[in-house]
Structure formats: structure tokens, C-alpha cells
Structure 1
Amino acid sequence: MRIDLTGKTALVTGSSSGIGLAIAQGLSACGAAVVITGRDDDRLAAAAATLDGDVRSVRGDLTTVEGHSDLVAAVPEVDVLVNNLGIFGHADPLDISDDEWRRYFETNVLTAVRLTRHYLPGMTAKGWGRVQYISSDSAVVTPAEMIHYGVSKTALLGVHRGFAKAAAGTGVTVNSVLAGPTHTGGVETFVRDLVGDGPWEDAQREFMTKHRPQSLLRRFIEPEEIANMVCYLASPLASATTGAAVRVDGGYVDAIVP
């Protein structure tokens, strides 16, 4: 199969590093014009330098009204929207304040809702579009050490299903990607906070054994492996997949259906 996104414009939020950057790179390699976002000019410039072809950078904080408004003013329409922006961290469930709960919901859920609300009408008017949400295995298997994160990712599953119904019959597909434990810089820090320092291979093995024993892959997923699924779902080849939570979780979720 050949994934060709020539002539399509793709917006990937939270894409100056990690999974978001890998997704942007993958979509760019498939021929899409790519818009990346982030809050730091230097990181955006470094990220943009890794992409070939047509790439634009829009700096701003999408959790604010100003950041959202600046982005949609700079990029009024897109063909592919990948809602990747998110935060994560571990905390004692009994110590998570109301403000922290709101911060996770605002960042991980409402930024995606606002962008979908803006871009979906343009897609349906054209009769083609792709909306994706980067969710997590934590949406289904809520980890005790990060329930605020898990609940925010669960919310995205309801969001994508509802918007998929809103786009029914229009030629626009709306899906979530359930990403499993993925190797990024932020995750390395998270892992070392839980299991301590030492060689990464040892830390990874200890974390997977103690904290993610359900994984059938038994290693961290690489960001490019998440990007591969996103590129497929963004393509015409995935025209019959909508309203779905598609797993790239290394077999972590113990279920025989998606």
C-alpha cells in the first residue's frame, strides 16, 4: 500500500517533539503540507528543520483563547487534524487538586474539542477530511499513579465517537489512536522518577515489569510506530474506518476487540 497525501494540509498539535513530531514527519514524508505547533520558537525551528517539503510553524499556547484564535487565523482550513497536544505526570490520586484536574481537562480535552469544532465544518463542506485524537491505553486501563491523565484520555474516546456521528455520511472520518507506553524524552523522565537512574535498557525493563506488566510487546513503543498508524488513518486507504479507537498499544489493553 502507498500512502499519498499530496495536496492535503495536515495540522498536528503539540508537535515540536516526541510523538507529535514523529507524526508530523510521517505525514510530511507522505506528501502532506504540515503545520506544527508549540510554545517555543527554538524548538519549533529545530522540529521544522527535520521535515521535508511544505512546513509551517505556529507558536502559541492552545490552552488559551488567544493561542487558539491565533492558530485558526493563521490556518483557517485543514484536511487532516491530529489532536496530539497533551500533558501527563504521576501523582497520588488523593493529592490531585481541582485546579490540576481542570488543567489536564483543559489541555488534553478542550483544546481538541475547540479545534474540531472549528475545522470539522470545512471538512464536511468539502466532503473529505480526517480528524484524529491521540488517546492512550490509560483511557481504558486507568493507572493508579496518573488517574487525572487517564480520565482525560477516556474523555477523548467519547469526544471522537460523538464527532464521528456528527460527521456521518459526509466523507469525513473521526478516530482515536490508543497509544501504548511510548519512548519519548518526557517518558524517560517519568520512568526514572519511578524506578531511578541507570542505563535506559535496565530502567525500561524494570518499569515495564513493575508498572506495565500487561504489555505483550514488553518494550516501549517508538514514536514512529504511532505515526505509522496516524498516517494510515489520515489517508484515503482508511475511508471505511471512523468512530473507532484504534490500538497501537503493544497489546497492553487486555481485550480481544478494539
Structure 2
Amino acid sequence: MIIDLSGKTAVVTGSTGGIGLAIATGLARAGARTVIVGRQQERVDAALAQLREASGRQDVAGVVCDPGTVEGCEALIAQEPDADILVNNLGIYGAREFFDIDDALWQEFFDVNVMSGVRLARHYAQGMRDRGWGRIQFISSESALNIPTEMVHYGVSKAALQGLSRGLAKVMAGTGVTVNTILPGPTRTEGAVKMMADLAAERGVSPSEMEAIFLQENRPSTLLRRFASPEEVANLCVYAASPQASATTGAALRVEGGIVESIA
């Protein structure tokens, strides 16, 4: 299968590293003019340099803003008013005892993980509809289905994305615009690598051993039995953004290594 996204513009939020940068790289390699979005100029510049080297494309662009705020979304839209592909990857996570999650933290997770996607999809979906083609993705998580007790607020925010995506897919029915969620599982991003290293130091084991321990203790149903790479997640995202995925919409596409105990 040859995926050709020539002539398309893709906006990927939270794309200065990890899964977001892997998605941006995959889309650029497939021919899309890809826009990196991050909050710090130096990280955006570094990601653009990586993207140019990895894809061989010079038409990549970067926007420095915080889409977790109204002002940040407005800034992104002002610089990139149109997109054919929108990947809402921006998200935050972190363990916290349920009884210690105050209203402010609940609101922060909802603003960043949910409302950023709401605001951007509300704008970009209209242009996609008018042009008769578009792809919108929300990067959710297996935690949306298996709400983790150590970060209920994160799981709830990702579950909200499931409802948002399905609802928007119904709104866009018959327009040529598809809307889907992507559900990664444990993925070897920079943040995850650091977390495993810190836990490994506490337990006196190697980081690779810690990954296995973490999965056994926290995700025992995994069939993959290892962390995925960001590129493995990105592969599914690139396919979902392709013309070949024209009949896939309103779906929760899982790339979580079989953690979810469901065949549906």
C-alpha cells in the first residue's frame, strides 16, 4: 500500500516529541505539508530540524502556542487557518491519588486533553466539510476504557475524547470527513522512558526490567508484552489519515497491544 498525502496540510498538536513527532514525521514522509505545534520555540525548532532530516521535506512549518488555552487555539488558527488533516495529540498525564485531585487539576486536564481538541475541530472541520475531504483524529488511550486507579482524571479525560470523536463523526456523516480516535497503550516516549528509569532506580533494576515489571503490575492483560514505539502508533495514524481509510470513521482504533479485554 502506497499512501500519498501530496497536496494535503496536516496540523499535529503536541508534536515536538514522542508520539506527536512520530505522527508528524509519518505524515510528512507520505507527502503532507506538516505543521508542528508546541509551546516552546526551541523545542519547535528542534522538532522541525528532525522532521526535515527524517522526511527530506523543506515545506514543514512550526507554530509556537499552547492549544490547551483559548488564546493558544486562536493563535494556531490565525497562523494556519486551513488543514486537511488534524491530529489532536496534545495531552497531559500524571499519577495522583483520587482524593487529592482538586477541582483545579480536574479543570486543567479537561482544558488540555479535551477542550483543545474541541476548539480546533470546531474550526478545521468546517473547512474540511466545505472542501469535501478531511481527516480528524483524537489521540485517546487504552486508559479511556481501562480507567487507571492511579490517574482517574486522565482516564476520564480520554474517555471524553471517545464521546467527542463519535459525536463529531456523526455530525460529519456523508461529508467526506472522517473522525476517529486512536488508542495507544504504554509507549516508549521520552516521558515514559524517564518514568521507567526513575522507578528502576528506586527498585534497583534496569529500565528494561522495569518496563516488564510495570506491565505485569499495571497492564497484566497485555498481549504485546512490551512498550510500543512511537512509530508503531504513528503507523496507524498515518493510515487513518490516508485516502485508503475513507470508510473508517466514528471508530476507536486500538494500537494498545491487546491490553483491552474485548474483541469489539
Alignment TM-score > 0.5, same fold: yes
1:154-165 equivalence runs, <5 A: 154-165=159-170
Task: Please give the root-mean-square deviation of Cα atoms over the aligned residues, in Å.
Answer: 1.1
Opposite residue 82 of structure 1, the aligned amino acid is V
Q: Give the drift of 1:194.
A: 4.9
Partner AA of 2:7 in structure 1: G
Contact 1:13 1:38 in 2 (8 A): yes
| Mapping for residues 53-72 of structure 1, pairs under 5 Å | 53=57, 54-72=59-77
Q: Distance in 2 between matches of 1:145 and 1:42?
A: 32
Q: Is this contact kept in 2: 1:173–1:242, CA < 8 A?
A: yes
Show the counterpart of 1:50.
Answer: 50
Q: Does 1:41 align with 2:41?
A: yes
Q: Distance in 2 between matches of 1:27 and 1:87?
A: 23
Cα offset, 1:225, TM superposition: 0.5
Gaps of 5+ in 2: none
Q: Does 1:178 align with 2:183?
A: yes
Deviation at 1:210, TM superposition (A): 1.0
Distance 1:190 1:134 in 2: 21
Give the Cα–Cα distance (whole angstroms) in 2 for the partners of residues 246 and 40 of structure 1.
30
Q: Which runs of 5+ in 1 are unaligned?
A: none
Establish whether residue 246 from structure 1 lines up as the match of residue 253 from structure 2: yes
User: Deviation at 1:190?
Assistant: 3.1
Match of 2:10 in 1: 10
Structure 1 stretches of 4+ with a deviation exceeding 2 A read 188-199
1:137 aligns with 2:142: yes
Indicate conservation of the 8 Å contact 2:23/2:234, yes or no: yes
CA contact (8 A) 2:109 2:154 kept: yes
Alignment-derived partner of residue 89 in structure 1: 94
Q: SS of 2:28's equivalent?
A: helix
Query: Structure 2 counterpart of 1:117, which letter?
Result: R
Give the alignment partner of residue 188 of structure 1, picking from 185, 193, 199: 193
1:103 aligned to 99, 108, 113, which one?
A: 108
Greater displacement, 62-71 / 133-142: 62-71
Per the alignment, residue 232 of structure 1 pairs with: 239
Q: For residue 117 of structure 1, what is the aligned residue in structure 2?
A: 122
Farther-moved stretch of structure 1 (206-215 vs 128-137): 206-215
Corresponding residue number in structure 2 for 1:74: 79
- Tell me the CA shift for residue 144 of structure 1: 0.5
Cα pair distance change 1:90/1:191, threshold 3 Å: farther
Q: 2:211: which partner in 1?
A: 204
Counterparts in 2 of 1:174 and 1:183: CA distance versus 1, 3 Å: same
Deviation at 1:2, TM superposition (A): 0.6
User: Does the Cα contact within 8 Å between 2:183 and 2:255 map onto a contact in 1?
Assistant: yes
Q: Deviations over 1:54-77 (max 9, x none)?
A: 210000111222211111010000
2-structure distance, mates of 1:231, 1:57: 19
Report the secondary structure of 1:50's partner residue.
Answer: helix
Within 2, Cα distance between the matches of 1:171 and 1:63?
28
State how far apart, in whole Å, the 1-side matches of 2:30 and 2:222 are: 30
Report the residue type matching 2:228 in the other structure.
Answer: I
User: Could you tell me how far apart the structure 2 residues matched to 1:195 and 1:215 are?
Assistant: 20
Q: CA deviation at 1:192?
A: 4.4
